[in-house]
């Protein structure tokens, strides 16, 4: 049986912010905690961060391929958890179900499960490590304008975002 712990990157500090590095950067300011995804991988281990020149507050975007409303293109997401900014193919009607793909391999993102809010939306996996573990991922919704996402690290929910936007 193989060891499921990524011992090369394991740090025991007593501070979750230190454990999460380098996949996420947790910045504790005086008024807020800011979580920035610093590395992300598709279903075959392809890098999704910084593959375009799009940045948000100086942080490279997480890029996905998206198919929705009869169109296909790239979407560049802010790596700042809870930030709804995006660039690229964004002219999609609110409520449209989207197909999410790795922009490098073209493989569909892995389905994680249903969003538990009765919307019918599903969570899809953006992995935080090249090991593609379900214990370290960002879970994103597949419905346009349905701002629900989660960050799971070491099988622990470290951030959840659910917001209703017009």
Residue 97 lies in a domain: yes
Residue-level pLDDT at 55 = 95
Report the domain count for the chain. 1
Residue 1 lies in a domain: no
Residue 95 lies in a domain: yes
Structural domain for 111, as ranges: 7-163
Residue 143 lies in a domain: yes
pTM assigned to the model: 0.77
Residue 19 lies in a domain: yes
Residue-level pLDDT at 22 = 52
Residue-level pLDDT at 23 = 56
Cα distance between residue 77 and residue 61, in whole Å: 5
Residue 43 lies in a domain: yes
Residue 121 lies in a domain: yes
Return all residues near 106 (Cβ < 8 A) that are at least 6 apart. 65
List pLDDT tens digits, range 64-96: 999 998 999 999 999 988 888 999 999 999 999
Q: Give the alpha-carbon dihedral of 154, 157, 158, 159, to 10 degrees.
A: 140
21 burial (CB, 10 Å; 0-12 / 13-18 / 19+) is middle
Return the DSSP state at 19: H
Residue 2 lies in a domain: no
List pLDDT tens digits, range 128-146: 999 998 889 999 999 999 8
More confident residue, 15 or 43: 43
């Amino acid at each position: 049986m193989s060891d499921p712990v990524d011992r090369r990157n394991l740090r025991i500090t007593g501070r979750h912010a230190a454990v999460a590095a380098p996949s996420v950067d947790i910045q504790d300011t005086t008024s807020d905690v800011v979580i920035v995804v610093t590395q992300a991988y598709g279903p075959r281990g392809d890098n999704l961060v910084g593959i375009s020149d799009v940045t948000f507050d100086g942080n490279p975007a997480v890029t996905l391929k998206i198919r929705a409303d009869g169109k296909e293109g790239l979407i560049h997401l802010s790596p700042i958890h809870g930030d709804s900014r995006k660039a690229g193919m964004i002219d999609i009607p609110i409520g449209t179900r989207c197909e999410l793909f790795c922009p490098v391999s073209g493989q569909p993102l892995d389905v994680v499960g249903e969003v538990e809010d009765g919307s019918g939306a599903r969570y899809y996996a953006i992995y935080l490590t090249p090991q593609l573990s379900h214990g370290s991922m960002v879970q994103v919704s597949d419905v346009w304008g349905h701002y629900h996402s989660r960050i799971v690290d070491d099988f622990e929910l470290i951030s959840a975002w659910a917001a209703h936007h017009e």
